[in-house]
With several copies, the nearest count.
Chain A
Amino acid sequence: MTEDHPFNLDLIDRQIAFIESILFVSKEPIEPEKILNYLNCKNIGDFEKLISRMEAAYLDNGRGILLKRSGGGLQLVTKPEIHEHLKDFFTIKTSSKLTIPSLETLSIVAYRQPVTIAEISDLRSVNSIGPVKSLLQKKLIRISGRKKVPGLPLLYSTTQEFLLYFGLNDLSELPSLEELTEMFEEKEQPSLFKRNNQE
C-alpha cells in the first residue's frame, strides 16, 4: 500500500477500500494525517482527490452511508434522509436531546472558556452544578485547570466530543456573537425553541 503511482487506478481503489475499512471499524473520527502517513502519501493534493472521490461515490442512491468531516477527522455516518426509517426499524421513539439548562451551560462554556461554575451560575442566575455535572458525564465539557482566584475553583472547557456532537471541525466554526445577533434578528421568536422541556 506504499507504492507511489498516483495514476494507478487499481492502487487508488485499494487505498479507498482501505480508508473505508478503517473508518468502518473505528468508533471515533480518524485524523486525515494518520491515514496520510500510513499510506505514505506525500502529496496532500493527491489525498484530497482520494477523499473527494470517496465522497462522490457515497452520493450514489444505492449507498446508505456517507463520509463526514467533523472534529478535524473523517467519519462514516448514515445519510440524513434515512433517519426516520432507522428510527422506525429499531423502534426508537425519540432521540435524546440535551436539556435547555444543559444547552445554556454549554453555550456559556463554548463562548467563555475556560470558565468556572460560579461564573456560569452567575450568568444564568441559576445554580448550575447539575447541568455541569451532566455535561461532564456526557464528555461535552472537561475540567481544564483551576482559576487563580481565592478558593482555586475548577475551570471548564469544551471537548473534542463537543465538536463531534455538534458536527463542528473546530471552535472557530461557531459564529461570533455579532454574527449570531444578525442571524436571529429577522426571525425573532423567543418562545419557539424552548418550552415543554424540563430537567
Chain B
Amino acid sequence: MNETEIYQVQTESFEGPLDLLLYLIRKNKMNILDVRISEITSEYLYYLQNCQGINPSQEGDFLMTASTLIYIKSRSLLPRAGSSQEESPEDKLIHTLIEYDKIQKISRLLREMENDTLLLWKREEISEHFENREFDIEEVSTFQLAEIFLNVIKKREKEEYLYLESKNYTIEHKIEEILGLLESNRYLNLFKYTESLDSIEEIMVSFFALLEMIKQHLVMALQKKNFDSISVWKKSPDPQLQ
C-alpha cells in the first residue's frame, strides 16, 4: 500500500466489517463471486490494527469478522478433514457479502428518495412544541407505550439527593449536582444548564463529570437532530427487572 492510498483510506469510515470487506474487494478489483478471501484477510487485519475507519463502538463486530477470516484462511492452508456436506464458512461469508451488497444498494436508493422528499416541506414544519402535545390514538405505537411505562417506573425510583454548592469544583461534586438536578427534572437541557454556570472552569468540570457519568451508565445524552440542544437523561437500574 503506497502512501497516497493510506492517506485516502484514513478519511474513510466503515459502517461495519462487511462495509470494509466490500471496499477491499472493490479496491482490489475482485468480483464478489470470485473473492480470494486469503488475499484480503491480511489487508482487513491491517485496517483493524491501525484503527482505520473503525468505529470504536463496533470494534467487537469487526473482530468477529476478523476471526472468521482467519479461520477461513487457516482452513485453506490445512488439508480438508472429512467430507462436509454443509456450507463452508467461506461460502457463507460470500453469501453474506452478496446480501450486504444489495442492502447497500437499497440504502443508496432510499437516500436518493429521502433527498427528494426533504425538498418538500409540510405544514408546521417550523416550531414544534412537543411538551404539551396531544396524540391521536392511531399515532401511538406499542413501542411508545412501553417506553412511557419504562419512564414512569424510572421516575418512581427517585432518591432524594442533597447537595451543597461549592465554589471548589470537583468532578465528584458535579456528578452529585447533576444527579440532583435530574431528580427534580425529567431531563437536563445541557445548553441551558451551561448558560447558568459561573465560569469556564465550572463548565469544563461539568463536562468532564458528564462524560464520566455517561461512561458509568448513570445518564445518557440525547440529541433529537444535529445542532439541537442536547438533553441529559438519568438512567437508573430497575429492580423490577432483576
Contact = CB atoms under 8 A, between A and B. Distances in A.
Interface in B129-148: 134-138, 140-148
Interface stretch (A20-28, A32-40, A54-62): A20-28
29 contacts: A24-B121, A25-B125, A26-B127, A27-B122, A28-B127, A83-B120, A94-B226, A97-B118, A98-B114, A103-B111, A103-B135, A104-B15, A107-B146, A110-B110, A125-B65, A127-B61, A138-B137, A140-B137, A143-B143, A165-B140, A167-B120, A174-B109, A177-B240, A178-B241, A186-B235, A187-B57, A191-B12, A195-B11, A195-B56
B58 interface: yes
A100 B109 contact: no
Given A107-B149, A142-B141, A180 B121 contact: no
Interface in B101-118: 102-111, 113-118
Interface in A161-181: 165-168, 173-175, 177-178, 180-181
B106 A111 contact: yes
A101 B12 CA distance: 15
Interface of A: 21, 24-28, 68, 75-80, 83, 86, 90, 93-101, 103-104, 106-108, 110-111, 123-127, 136-140, 142-143, 165-168, 173-175, 177-178, 180-181, 183-199
A199 B61 CA distance: 15
B100, B104, B108, B124 interface centre (most CB from chain A within 10 Å): B108
Given A93-B226, A100-B107, 12 more contacts: A25-B122, A78-B120, A104-B103, A108-B149, A111-B149, A124-B18, A125-B64, A126-B16, A167-B116, A167-B120, A174-B145, A183-B109
Interface of B: 11-13, 15-19, 22-23, 26, 51, 55-61, 64-65, 96, 99-100, 102-111, 113-127, 134-138, 140-153, 155-156, 214-215, 217, 220, 225-227, 235, 238, 240-241
- Give the secondary structure class of B's interface: helix
B123 A97 contact: no
